[in-house]
Structure 1
């Protein structure tokens, strides 16, 4: 999990309205399916959740102040607008959560409502085309490829070194280029870890056992992703009772099939290996984040 989102939630909402695209960000429900007990390659024990939230708040504050200087108004939004949302990348394994939320369709609907009523979205819609373009330039600058990083996967990612988002990160972390490189690579390695887990033969065997367990309960799904998709894609016409029953069955099968334990073991193995292989970039990210904490306290005071 990143210490502070590269694009904070209130900014993502504005950009989504300006571009007409769906933005990610904190209000998106995302895929539901178990958070591995072990840390991801991009996580760190060095910072507490409170410290990570402090960095998030500081970055929001800096972006908001910068945009105000450019003549634009942005409201702050919570770091987690839907606090109950959780990611379960390897299958749902929390019976308490499943009993309350099923696969999370209720949280998905809540996120949609929050986006629809968001004051930043309304504000962006109130701007004419010219002002919206100015807002985009103020936010992201006019040089989208000024900084570029090659990820371990070989993919090249770029960003601007201008605009309020870049200015906020530079002020907070002290070195925009270094922070962008460290965040981009460690976030990509978190995805790489998950990809390696689900591609491992041991995980595939555990999924087969999970699927057999589900069939024994009258639920025919080849894997947890298929079960999750049926209730979250919005087109199946399923009921809440069926969603909850299936989600609870999944948690039982995740335990009895060994899927939860297998995923946790593989996640630790691949996470440790990736962290060791890319130790320098993890140290750099941790150093920059920890160095930003005193500045963040001043900014949010």
Structure 2
């Protein structure tokens, strides 16, 4: 899942042929071990009433947000589980394609670039050593490996229109189906009926979820809690303190997200990271640390998500059961492959 705070960063579109790789990258993952049963109480501390109050303890290393957790992560696959689900899906799709006389392999997963998981940059940058070299940009070596992998994937042979329908079946838009041959448009391939949703749809049915166990409700609430946290009095107060701190250093931004989203700091492979961007990012981190911006913000979002969990307990418990089914079925498929 893309982190709300980093939505402006580059996102590579995914086709059916790399859908499994997208899941392997852990788009909705949390740190390993966040598989608390849905009936368990999250037990997270309430956020401070204001920035003058003691900072609420976080659920991991205070200086490393990638170790923090949010209540809704109990209803999401971990990164390791997401990779296992992707591998199982790829195996099932490959078997399905072979049954139609077609060889297909999932694209290899893209290397990580930037945040280590969904929490790492959720509240903005925090690595002063990296920012002193790269400002708001990811590590240069990570970015280079990622870009090279994307170029390699772009050179993979594209599936034919018939193969696209076989992979995606009725889930494809009408325009894609119209490009296929008459037999495929009628719902068959090499004399055999195409399964509902194509080979991907069949694989997901076998695993037990058309969303690979990823709960649309959880995804919705994850974004909603981030947006809701922005208007909380404790967060708006600490943003004001951060803004005043930045003004003293010569920078005018109303909130931390505004510095990150400054158009002058947009990623551009044609230029080096500017000294201004680096100086701004270092000042940004200094002011964040001085006023405990991330800790207070995280505490508020924990409180918001804890409320969501209580309000949606039955639906979330059902989604957790579905995810557990998908994890179990994936383990079975991967054990046989």
User: Is the TM value for this pair above 0.5?
Assistant: yes
Q: Where does structure 2 lack aligned partners over 5 or more consecutive residues?
A: 3-12, 28-63, 174-194
1:232/1:110 CA distance change after superposition, 3 Å: farther
Contact 1:64–1:73 (Cα < 8 Å) also in 2: yes
Q: Distance in 1 between matches of 2:323 and 2:205?
A: 12
Contact 2:242–2:291 (Cα < 8 Å) also in 1: yes
- Partner of 1:73 in structure 2? 104
SS at match of 1:43: helix
2:248 matched to 1:216? yes
Q: Where does structure 1 lack aligned partners over 5 or more consecutive residues?
A: 3-11, 18-22, 146-159
The Cα shift of 1:190 comes to 0.7
Contact 1:161–1:167 (Cα < 8 Å) also in 2: yes
1:284 to 318, 321, 327: 318
- Partner of 1:164 in structure 2? 199
1:204 to 236, 241, 265: 236
Q: Distance in 2 between matches of 1:264 and 1:289?
A: 26
2:290 to 238, 248, 256: 256
Q: Distance in 2 between matches of 1:270 and 1:218?
A: 34
The Cα shift of 1:263 comes to 0.6
SS at match of 1:44: helix
2:175 matched to 1:141? no
Higher helix share goes to which structure?
A: 1
Q: Distance in 1 between matches of 2:75 and 2:171?
A: 35
SS at match of 2:83: helix
Q: Distance in 2 between matches of 1:124 and 1:170?
A: 27
Give me the CA root mean square deviation: 3.9
2:84 matched to 1:54? yes
Q: Distance in 1 between matches of 2:26 and 2:258?
A: 20
- Partner of 2:123 in structure 1? 90
The Cα shift of 1:276 comes to 1.1
1:254/1:51 CA distance change after superposition, 3 Å: same
2:305 to 242, 264, 271: 271
- Partner of 2:219 in structure 1? 187
- Partner of 1:226 in structure 2? 258
Report the TM-score, using the length of structure 2 for normalisation.
0.63
Q: Distance in 2 between matches of 1:69 and 1:144?
A: 20
Q: How many residues align?
A: 259
Structure (1 or 2) with the larger CA radius of gyration:
2
SS at match of 2:170: coil
The Cα shift of 1:187 comes to 0.9
Report the TM-score, using the length of structure 1 for normalisation.
0.69
- Partner of 1:7 in structure 2? none
The Cα shift of 1:270 comes to 0.6
Q: Distance in 2 between matches of 1:46 and 1:189?
A: 12
SS at match of 1:219: coil
The Cα shift of 1:93 comes to 2.7
Q: Distance in 2 between matches of 1:57 and 1:180?
A: 11
1:48/1:236 CA distance change after superposition, 3 Å: closer
The Cα shift of 1:265 comes to 1.1
